[in-house]
Amino acid sequence: MKLLYCFRPRRTSLGLAIVLLFYCLLAMPVHAQNFGMQEAGKAATYGGYGEGTTETTFSETLGVTIKLALSLVGAIFLALMVYAGYLWMTARGEEEPINKAKKIIIAAIVGLVITVGAYSVTDYVLVRIFSAVNEASQKK
Q: Is the pTM of this model over 0.85?
A: no
Distance CA 52, CA 49 (A): 8
The pLDDT tens digits of the residues spanning 30-85 come to 676 666 767 777 777 777 776 666 677 777 788 888 888 999 999 999 999 999 99
Q: How far is CA 11 from CA 5, 8, 16, 46, 64, in A?
A: 13, 9, 9, 65, 59
DSSP state, 36? S
Banded pLDDT at 1 (limits 50, 70, 90):
very low
